[in-house]
Amino acid sequence: MRPVGHTCTRWPATQRNIARDPCDWLVPATGRTDAKLSMPLPAARLMQKDHCVRMDELRQAAIDRLPPPVSEYFNQGSADGITASAAVAAWDNVRFRPRILRDVSVVSTATTVLGRELATPVCVAPTSMHRAAHADGEVATARGAAAAGSLMAVSTNSGRTFEEIGATAAAWWLQCYVLRDRGLTKAIAQRAKAAGASAVVLTADTPVVGRKHNAGKGVWDVVPAGYHMANIDQDGLPDSALDKADDLTPDTISWLREVSGLPVVVKGVLRADDARIVASAGAAAVQVSNHGGRQLDQSVAASDALPEIAAAVQESGAEVYVDGGIRRGEHVLAAIALGARAVFVGRPVLWALTAGGETGQGGSAGVAAVLSQLTAELGHAMALAGARTVSEITSDLVA
């Protein structure tokens, strides 16, 4: 049985020559059964041309709509922003060696992460302040991810409760900051599992928070307190209880797996030796990440660190994911060819939540549209590269 995903079928021959972009090239298949499939295609899988937007245009639309401190918070990097500003260019620098004379009449973007079937390897990275982008916050993001056949990592700082997110029936993981108060961390993880989280993403690169420079007021000066930490009862807690722990060790992985009862993904890995350590300590997956350029400035680009990390854990059974600077389907193709099983996108989702979708009103439709567009672009790039399935996107495609 062919996996259900964004399965791409060519337009009729009379229309092929006028196709100018991936959204032209892909058949808009909404809730129909294709003769080449044994299962119906889920709704909202592929998009028509008028839903395609450039990421820089989407970013600008979000900037125009958001209060400046919120927009700054979404887009800023740490210190001088060197790492953050270099992320997209690092993916742009990857070059391909496409295969020819391959039958790519049907291309599928379906994949699995930690055993869960997804229609796309493009997933939602954990970010904060979704309610500052849209009134429905993380609930809208979760619905959009579900509509695109994707998966969402939900921040510890979520502005909507885990129960509300779980009620969307979206596939989701908890992103976890281990706090100095380990009992509070345990309670957060267990609450997330009870609400439907199927993995915990341990953010390991924040012993302290990277310094940021604000042009004026900060985001915390303009947004209501209820926009974050909806899953933490702060009444009576000392301020220090919410401080991020700065004493994490590899043993934290097994502790978190024990108290949550969930597989642990370690996020923030940029070195092969660290990847081997976390895999040996029981991590189910490693996520190559420099935290969107928001922690140590001048850190290596995720795209540059990815190949050595993928090679380091190849025999361990741990999966590899990557985030940071993914803006086009070709970037996703490059990431998978360099060793990632899936990619996670953060800022584009926030922009789409703010101002995406056919009407430009954001919300779940905006999130679904940006994820579906990246997936459609990936399918198009796969066909051009001679890869019919995600498993055929291999390292030989990269020059």
Q: What are the residues whose beta carbons fall under 8 Å from the beta carbon of 229, sequence distance 6 or more?
A: 156, 157, 158, 159, 242
- Give the pLDDT of residue 235: 84
Taking only the tens place, the pLDDT of each residue in 33-83 is 232 222 223 323 333 344 467 999 999 999 999 999 999 999 999 999 999
The pTM is what?
Answer: 0.89
Helix (H) or strand (E) holding 118: strand 116-118
- Tell me the C-alpha distance between 188 and 208, whole Å: 20
Beta bridge partners of 108: 7
3-state secondary structure 27-81: CCCCCCCCCCCCCCCCCCCCCCHHHCCCHHHHHHHHHHHCCHHHHHHHHCCCCCC
291 is catalytic: yes
Determine phi and psi for 149, rounding to 5 degrees: 70, 30
Taking only the tens place, the pLDDT of each residue in 1-41 is 333 344 543 333 322 332 334 444 343 333 322 322 222 23
- Give the pLDDT of residue 52: 67
Taking only the tens place, the pLDDT of each residue in 353-379 is 999 999 999 999 999 999 999 999 999
- Please state, rounded to an integer, the average pLDDT across all residues of the chain: 89
- Tell me the C-alpha distance between 204 and 14, whole Å: 53
List 134, 291, 331, 380, catalytic entry: 291
Length of the chain: 399
**25 against 320, higher pLDDT:** 320
Taking only the tens place, the pLDDT of each residue in 266-313 is 999 999 999 999 999 999 999 999 999 999 999 999 999 999 999 999
Domains in the chain, please, with CATH?
A: 56-88+112-374 (3.20.20.70)
Output DSSP code: residue 101.
Answer: S
Other beta carbons within 10 angstroms of residue 92's beta carbon come to 15
- Reduced DSSP (H G I as helix, E B as strand, rest coil) percent helix, strand, coil of the chain, to 5: 40, 15, 45
Percent of the chain past pLDDT 90, that is, above it, reads 81
Exposure string (b/e) for 23-47, b if CB count within 10 Å is 16 or more?
bebbbebeeeeeeebeeebbebbbb
